[in-house]
Amino acid sequence: MFFIKQKQTKQTWDLAKGIGKIELSDGNDTKKQLEMIGLTSKDLDVIHALQPFIKEKLDMIANQYYRDLEQEPSLLKIIQDNSTTDRLKRTLKQHLLEMFTGTINEEFIEKRIRIAHMHVKIGLPTKWYMAAFQNLLLSIITIIVENLTNTDDRLMAIQAATKIINFEQQLVLE
């Protein structure tokens, strides 16, 4: 039932604080982009704390990601022309683990710019890129809900996950 407000338990998720790091120079655009979406080092603490849950389900995420891509013949063709299923899954898993380390620095930004160039090179249309991000986000939200029972924790985690995905989109879709 949608309208019954459940009695909340106290926040239970034990978050290590001070691990998340933003190491970017003041005044550069990427730092302003983070500020615009309110992605703080506290969010990165949360992102880091989510990493073990993501790690545990990497295969599930990669399989679902590939199943989604497969449904669009033009994407299947791009993959067959430029890569293999196994390589793509491996790349995605590695990338996701890195996305959840909780550090955003110049290396993080440069890597995303390289990835963006790679997708331009293979001719990936933006609409499919965005669709893939959406499906990735849904997998991440499912994992959060499965692992965290407290509503405040879930909200905090989902907010942090949407911010990191959005930031990544800002970098690769520019």
Q: Which of 9, 114, 145, 151 binds ligand HEM (CB under 6 A)?
A: 114
Q: Which of 51, 64, 129, 170 binds ligand HEM (CB under 6 A)?
A: 129
CA atoms of 30 and 104, how far apart (whole Å): 10
SS (H, E, C) the chain: CCCCCCCCCCCCCCCCCCCCEEECCCCCHHHHHHHHCCCCHHHHHHHHHHHHHHHHCHHHHHHHHHHHHHCCHHHHHHHHHHCCHHHHHHHHHHHHHHHCCCEEEHHHHHHHHHHHHHHHHCCCCHHHHHHHHHHHHHHHHHHHHHHCCCHHHHHHHHHHHHHHHHHHHHHHCC
Report in angstroms how near the CB of residue 31 gets to ligand HEM at its nearest.
Answer: 22
- The verdict on 170 binding ligand HEM (CB under 6 A) reads no
Residue 17 vs 77, nearer CB to ligand HEM: 77
- The verdict on 92 binding ligand HEM (CB under 6 A) reads yes
Residue window 2-41: x/- pattern of binding to ligand HEM, with contact defined by CB under 6 A: ----------------------------------------
Q: Which stretch binds ligand HEM (CB under 6 A): 6-14, 31-39, 42-50, 122-130?
A: 122-130
Q: Which of 34, 50, 132, 161 binds ligand HEM (CB under 6 A)?
A: 132
- The verdict on 58 binding ligand HEM (CB under 6 A) reads no
Q: Which of 40, 51, 85, 91 binds ligand HEM (CB under 6 A)?
A: 91
Long-range pairs, 77-81, Cβ under 8 A, ≥24: 78/122, 78/123, 78/124, 81/122
Q: Which residues bind ligand HEM (CB under 6 A)?
A: 69, 75, 78-79, 82-83, 87-88, 91-92, 95, 114-115, 118-119, 122, 124, 128-129, 132-133, 136
